[in-house]
């Protein structure tokens, strides 16, 4: 291994160990009903939720995917809406 | 490149806390998870047939499927803060889709939306997909559909028929979730007692939200009647003059 690469690897390992320990976070505001009801009752009744098989809830990845899903859903909705309610509107359509 | 992609895929599988608003992964035991799949899939299969049949009859059916399918997907992963409860929840949207597209087609939309959310948005779960489809798809769609029909039977104005559908779809979705959890997890406790506790716990968040969903559903119906009344007539939602 080249010295630069070794140095870089050591630096990487060092930063991993130097990462600040996660502080005790206050309870999150605006929890979903999944937390306040579904998972709470499941836990009380002896069943814990597990992580999803494809876990995208990692940092901003989930935010990215939600934004992407919202944009894609919004585009489909807008496109079809325009097709029916704007382009497809006939001049003789009157209020029922 | 391939190694990086493989590494990225593996990183996605690392455990991390997940926040989902339907029944989360792993909450339903395997037997109940399978049972709810078996209960929901016939409705989905009939829905696929309903879509095939309706698209032959009505050329505007596919764009409508696009609008209301996307709407259900967006609504059902859209956490809305409810200030009186201090928590967030999402509407179902299946009341609206059931009225316009038919209740069976609405089950297909719910199934696809929930599948996409379970796969990509850490929302719900793959093992609980059947249960979530049954509550949001089957109970939500049929509840909304019959509430709308009841409103029409009582000759309520179109807005209030839509309002009833939105409220029923929302409440029945959460009733379904409560029922599925109560049946699977009640242990030695009476099922009805557990069902009541879970359903009541949803109410502070869901009552304001179901009123909002009802108003949005009714408002959309009134808008469609104003802009394209022919569509509502073709779909059988408007047969006679309504207020």
Per-residue pLDDT tens over the stretch A22-35: 455 566 788 888 88
Integer angstrom CA distances of residue B118 from A3, B90, B211: 45, 15, 27
Lowest mean pLDDT among B108-112, B128-132, B209-213, B224-228: B224-228
Number of neighbours of residue A44 by Cβ within 10 angstroms: 11
Residues of chain B found within 8 Å of residue A41, distances taken between Cβ atoms: 181, 185, 194, 197-198, 201
A86 domain residue, yes or no = yes
Interchain contact, B126 vs A53, CB within 8 Å: yes
pLDDT exceeds cutoff 60 at B70: yes
Q: Residue B241: helix, strand or coil by DSSP? A: coil
Contacts of B72 (CB under 8 A, 6+ apart): B92, B93, B94, B96, B97, B106, B109, B110, B113
A5 domain residue, yes or no = no
SS3 of chain A: helix, strand, coil, percent, to 5: 55, 0, 45
B133 vs A14, higher pLDDT: B133
ipTM over 0.85? The verdict is no
Residue A20 backbone phi and psi in degrees, to 5: -65, 140
Residue-wise pLDDT tens digits, B11-54: 444 443 334 458 889 899 999 999 999 999 999 999 999 999 98
Per-chain mean pLDDT for chain B: 87
Tokens linked to B151: 């409103």
Looking at chain B, which residue has its C-alpha nearest residue A65?
Answer: B121
| Residue A35: per-residue pLDDT | 82
Please count the residue pairs, one from chain A and one from chain B, whose beta carbons lie less than 8 angstroms apart. 187
Residue A37 forms contact with B (CB below 8 Å): yes
Interchain contact, A84 vs B60, CB within 8 Å: yes
Confidence grade of residue B171 (pLDDT, cut at 50, 70, 90)? very high
Q: Could you please state the CATH topology (level 3) that the domain comprising B26-233 is classified under.
A: Arp2/3 complex 21 kDa subunit ARPC3 (1.10.1760)
Give me the mean pLDDT over the A10-22 stretch.
56
A69 domain residue, yes or no = yes
b (16+ CB within 10 A) / e for B166-187: bbbbbbbbbbbbbbbbbbbbbe
Q: By C-alpha distance, which of B43, B61, B21 is closest to B236?
A: B61
Q: What is the dihedral of CA B235, B240, B241, B243, to 10 degrees?
A: -70
The answer to whether B133 and B126 are in contact (CB under 8 A) is: no
The answer to whether B162 and B61 are in contact (CB under 8 A) is: no
What is the distance between the alpha carbons of residues B125 and B121, in angstroms, rounded to a whole number?
A: 10
| Residue B243: per-residue pLDDT | 43
| Residue A89: per-residue pLDDT | 75
| Residue B151: per-residue pLDDT | 95
Residue B58 backbone phi and psi in degrees, to 5: -130, 115
| Residue A93: per-residue pLDDT | 53
**β-strands B80-82, B87-89: how paired?**
antiparallel
Residue A55 forms contact with B (CB below 8 Å): yes
Residues of chain A found within 8 Å of residue B228, distances taken between Cβ atoms: 84-85, 88-89, 93
Chain B stretch 70-129, residues whose beta carbon is closer than 8 A to a beta carbon of chain A: 70-71, 73-74, 77, 79, 81, 86-89, 116, 118-122, 125-126
User: Could you give the angle at which helices B140-153 and B103-120 cross, rounded to 10 degrees?
Assistant: 150
**Whole domain around residue A81: which residue ranges?**
58-90
Residue-wise pLDDT tens digits, B192-224: 999 999 999 999 989 999 999 999 999 999 999
The total of structural domains in chain A comes to: 1
pLDDT exceeds cutoff 80 at B166: yes
| Residue B20: per-residue pLDDT | 41
Longest dimension (CA), chain A: 80
Interchain contact, A32 vs B19, CB within 8 Å: yes
A73 domain residue, yes or no = yes
A45 domain residue, yes or no = no
**Burial (CB count within 10 angstroms: exposed 0-12, middle 13-18, buried 19+), residue B51:** buried
Confidence grade of residue B184 (pLDDT, cut at 50, 70, 90)? very high
Give me the mean pLDDT over the B43-68 stretch.
91
**Shortest alpha-carbon distance between residue B123 and chain A (Å):** 8
pLDDT exceeds cutoff 80 at B92: yes
b (16+ CB within 10 A) / e for B19-38: bbbbbbbbbbeeebbebbbe
Domain limits, chain B? 26-233
**Shortest alpha-carbon distance between residue A92 and chain B (Å):** 10
Interchain contact, A74 vs B74, CB within 8 Å: yes
Tokens linked to B124: 């719900």
């Amino acid at each position: 291994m080249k010295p630069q690469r070794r140095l870089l690897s050591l630096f990487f390992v060092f930063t991993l160990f130097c990462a600040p320990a996660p502080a005790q976070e206050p309870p999150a505001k605006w929890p979903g009903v999944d937390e306040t009801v579904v998972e709470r009752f499941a836990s009380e009744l002896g069943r814990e939720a597990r992580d999803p098989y494809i876990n995208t809830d990692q940092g901003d990845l989930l935010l990215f995917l939600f934004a992407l899903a919202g944009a894609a859903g919004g585009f489909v909705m807008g496109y079809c809406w325009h097709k029916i309610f704007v382009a497809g509107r006939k001049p003789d359509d009157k209020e029922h | 490149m391939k190694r990086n992609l493989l590494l990225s895929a593996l990183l996605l599988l690392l455990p991390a806390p997940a926040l989902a608003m339907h029944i989360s992964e792993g909450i339903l035991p395997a037997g109940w998870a399978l049972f709810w799949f078996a209960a929901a899939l016939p409705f989905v299969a009939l829905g696929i047939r309903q879509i095939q049949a309706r698209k032959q009859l009505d050329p505007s059916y596919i764009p409508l499927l696009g609008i209301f399918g996307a709407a259900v997907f967006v609504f059902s992963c859209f956490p809305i803060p409810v200030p009186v409860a201090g928590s967030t929840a999402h509407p179902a949207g299946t009341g609206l889709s059931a009225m316009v597209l038919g209740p069976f087609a609405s089950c297909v939309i719910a199934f696809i939306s929930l599948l996409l959310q379970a796969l990509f948005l850490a929302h719900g779960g793959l093992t609980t997909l059947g249960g979530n489809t049954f509550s949001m798809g089957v109970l939500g769609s049929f509840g909304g559909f019959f509430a709308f029909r009841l409103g029409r039977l009582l000759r309520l104005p179109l807005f209030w028929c839509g309002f009833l559908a939105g409220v029923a779809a929302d409440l029945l979705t959460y009733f379904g979730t409560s029922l599925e959890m109560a049946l699977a997890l009640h242990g030695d406790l009476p099922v009805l007692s557990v069902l009541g506790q879970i359903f009541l716990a949803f109410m502070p968040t869901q009552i304001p939200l179901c009123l909002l969903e009802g108003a949005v559903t009714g408002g959309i119906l009134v808008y469609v009647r104003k802009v394209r009344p022919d569509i509502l007539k073709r779909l059988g939602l408007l047969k006679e003059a309504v207020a």
